[in-house]
Structure 1
Amino acid sequence: MAIHFTEQELAERRAAACKAMAADGLDGLLIFRQESMYYLTGYDTFGFVYFQCLYLGADGEMFLMTRAPDLRQAQHTSVIDDIHIWVDREGVNPARELRDLLHQRRLSGKKLGVEWESYGLTAANGRKLEHALDGFCDLVDASTLVSRLRLVKSPAELDYVRRAAELADDAYDRAYELAGPGADEGAILAAMQGAVFEGGGDYAGNEFIIGSGRDALLCRYKAGRRKLDAQDQLTLEWAGVYRHYHAAMMNTFLIGEASDEHKALHAAAEEAILACEAMLKPGSTMSDVFHAHARTLDAHGLKDHRMNACGYAMGTCFAPNWMDWPMFYDGNPVELKPGMTFFIHIIIANSDAGRAMTLGRSSIVGETGPEVLSKRPLDLVVR
């Protein structure tokens, strides 16, 4: 069994989830988020893209319903003993089979939480689930029950986050070495991803993001590569990943000479990220961090060129993205506590002038302030 935490720690997590269920008046939880399954049991797969459900009762009873390819996956990577397989065949409805398993455990008429907000539960399967359980039990949205528990990391989890950050710094070094006039974006990406794998890391929850020229203003991955011009801008967003724990970074490298306009954008971005990080302390809210970002960039006349969010939690994430709950945006009331980990990104995209500037790095919330994880400077990079 290849789990990355002690069985005791996993048991303590499940006990905390059961306590949270009891507080919410739930008899059990239907879990569809792969992050939740990994957190509670160690179960590690990408088979969640098909219908699968981990049931955890408020009494601690647990079973997994999944497909045949994930039977051994669960046996090898988790502490789950009770595994049920639904068979692929025309017309199959695994939601009905799940109802039968719940019926066998005398859960008829009970109040069950559901992780509706999950990539592991498509709208179509969600409708089948509702139909199958209609009249059988009372379903309640409990999408954030486990996510809230996951927000504060254990010492073992923080060790993995710190290792992920080291791998992110290694990837930064590879990009720094290769970036310059004539450099190929594909070679840069290969070197960055290679650094993570060579360090014992994993695939990220989404693709590394790269864009140069006018595409340096993008903050999403897209297909297609180019070589850097003698005078260019290169935006990179990537993450070190270890045991599925992420530590993201972001930066815009300038190729050739730095214009005064780019220097001014970098100065604003550096001031903004430091202002945000100053708010990473117990008692602050997610909204407080966002407002530090907005106030700073707006004071530089960049309101029209900034984003409406400036980062999010870091942790265990599976495809299709590494953005964990919650996010820094206006009005978000979630309060920061020691042991939470976050990625703050400052993204400035001036489409009128065709100029981009970004800075981003991950931190752990400490007792009095942030533990910045990246050891690389915030200085303007010119290659």
Structure 2
Amino acid sequence: MRGKFASFAEDEHRARLAKARRLLREQGIDHCISVAPESLYYYGGYDSWVSVNSPQALIFSADEGEPTIVLRDTDVSLAHESSWIKDVRAYRLMFDDIPGTFAAVAREKGLRGGKVAVEIQSYAIPHSLGLALAQALAPAQIVDATVLLGMPRLIKSPAEMAYLSQAAAYAQAGLDAARRTLRPGITEIALAGAIENAMRTAGSDYWAIPTELAGGERSAGGHATPRERIIEAGDIVHAEFAGVAARYHATAIHTMAAGEPSRRARAVYEVGRASLAAGIAAIRPGAEVGDIEEASLEPVRTAGLEHAAVMRFGYGLGVAYPPIWLEPLQISRGPNQVMQEGMVFVLHAYLQLADEQLGIIQGGTYALTGQGVEMLIGGGDVELEVI
């Protein structure tokens, strides 16, 4: 049973772990208690969503010793079927001291003081657990490793790209279903159901964020989830959803119209389309993320709609568990990051006109390859699709 459902070879995981250890040593950190489920999967191969209610940890030192997974006893078999790691320890929820267990394993690996890396920005370590863990680890000091452990995930290996291509195919099934199903008279929930059913039927794993879908008077809601609202003739409808293969997400983003829309809706869509195209044109290896977003905003400023551009232009995408699918790459003004070949990311032009009850979002998932920017899935830079 051990490793029967592993997504990657052990050698790939060990190479990733070696990179993480090198980053730890460069920061003067001797030990790591990784709690984020995406890290447990990326480095340890352990595939489980349950960090949201049952703390889990991948514990290792910056030297070459073997790592340990600590998890709830209910989930031991999940580690055996997916992870290459041999040392799997279990605790009993409601009875055992979980922070104390994590700390005891770290001390087995030589922890006495110094710094311990933990992803303190992860939802998997709520404030109460963080406080208890800090107390259990004292006099060692917890330092934030959210970015340190997340950044290696930004450059995808050939094996990861294969999963992303598969995920994109699942999302394409959802996009095709949206085109077949959208019509006046259907509810937003029914449309989302057709999208999700098509992706699951095609073979998709579960996604980390609910399907986002809204139309007509609700279209200004950028993160709106579908309701029992009936789609009307001429409604602008936008959707954002992901196909998933081996926890790798590929997100489709597309705006369509259920019949001929208003002239205003068409005009706003064209501004968004121009914004998307301008941002894509600025992407190349070495490009600064702030410059890319600035380029995407030029058509928006020209149209006098900069106030409506309230969403970052893009973000990294790959391994994900609920409740988010974002990686540390932020394609936005502010972060000091540059684009590199091998990155995969979501790009979206979003314009929100709340006072007009109108919003459009257009984009998808892209990869920066040796051939340039390649769209894996999404609506992309196309004329408004009227169904």
TM over 0.5: yes
Deviations 1:156-207 (A, max 9, x none): 1011112212222221110011111112222211221122212221111110
Matched, 1:52 2:51: no
Contiguous gaps of at least 5 residues in structure 1: none
Give 2:69's match in structure 1, choosing from 50, 61, 64: 64
Could you say which residue in structure 2 is the equivalent of 1:76?
A: 81
Deviations 1:321-366 (A, max 9, x none): 1222222221221111000001001111112222222201111012
Is the 1:281–1:368 contact (alpha carbons within 8 Å) kept by the matching residues of 2? no
For residues 1-383 of structure 1, the aligned pairs below 5 Å read 1=3, 2-49=5-52, 50-60=54-64, 61-89=66-94, 92-135=96-139, 137-222=140-225, 224-367=227-370, 369-374=372-377, 378-383=382-387
What amino acid maps onto 1:134 in structure 2?
A: A
319-328 or 217-226: bigger deviation: 217-226
Is the 2:251–2:378 contact (alpha carbons within 8 Å) kept by the matching residues of 1? no
Distance 2:9 2:109 in 1: 28
Distance 1:268 1:177 in 2: 26
Is the 2:316–2:326 contact (alpha carbons within 8 Å) kept by the matching residues of 1? yes
Distance 1:294 1:226 in 2: 32
Q: SS of 1:211's equivalent?
A: strand
Distance 2:150 2:116 in 1: 17
Distance 2:378 2:349 in 1: 18
Deviations 1:262-310 (A, max 9, x none): 2211211111111111122101122122112222211111112111412
Is the 1:308–1:329 contact (alpha carbons within 8 Å) kept by the matching residues of 2? no
What amino acid maps onto 1:298 in structure 2?
A: R
Q: 1:102 to 1:185 in 2, by over 3 A?
A: same
CA apart distance, 1:368: 5.4
Q: SS of 1:10's equivalent?
A: helix
Distance 1:65 1:129 in 2: 14
Distance 1:128 1:285 in 2: 39
Is the 1:282–1:368 contact (alpha carbons within 8 Å) kept by the matching residues of 2? no
Contiguous gaps of at least 5 residues in structure 2: none
What amino acid maps onto 1:182 in structure 2?
A: G
Identity of aligned residues (%): 28
Q: Which portions of structure 1, spanning 4 or more consecutive aligned residues, are displaced by more than 4 angstroms?
A: none
What amino acid maps onto 1:3 in structure 2?
A: A
267-276 or 81-90: bigger deviation: 81-90
357-366 or 367-376: bigger deviation: 367-376
Distance 1:139 1:352 in 2: 46
Distance 1:102 1:240 in 2: 37
Q: SS of 1:373's equivalent?
A: strand
What amino acid maps onto 1:76 in structure 2?
A: E
Distance 1:319 1:94 in 2: 22
Q: SS of 2:252's equivalent?
A: strand
Distance 1:118 1:286 in 2: 23
What amino acid maps onto 1:364 in structure 2?
A: A
Aligned length: 381
What amino acid maps onto 2:288 in structure 1?
A: T
**Structural RMSD (CA):** 1.7
Distance 1:265 1:139 in 2: 48
CA apart distance, 1:110: 4.0
TM-score, normalisation: structure 2: 0.94
Q: SS of 1:284's equivalent?
A: coil
CA apart distance, 1:234: 1.4
Q: SS of 1:144's equivalent?
A: helix
Is the 1:344–1:362 contact (alpha carbons within 8 Å) kept by the matching residues of 2? yes
CA apart distance, 1:367: 2.9
What amino acid maps onto 1:316 in structure 2?
A: V
Is the 1:282–1:367 contact (alpha carbons within 8 Å) kept by the matching residues of 2? no
CA apart distance, 1:51: 1.7
Is the 2:213–2:226 contact (alpha carbons within 8 Å) kept by the matching residues of 1? no
CA apart distance, 1:115: 1.3
What amino acid maps onto 1:248 in structure 2?
A: T
Distance 2:107 2:13 in 1: 27
Q: 1:215 to 1:362 in 2, by over 3 A?
A: same
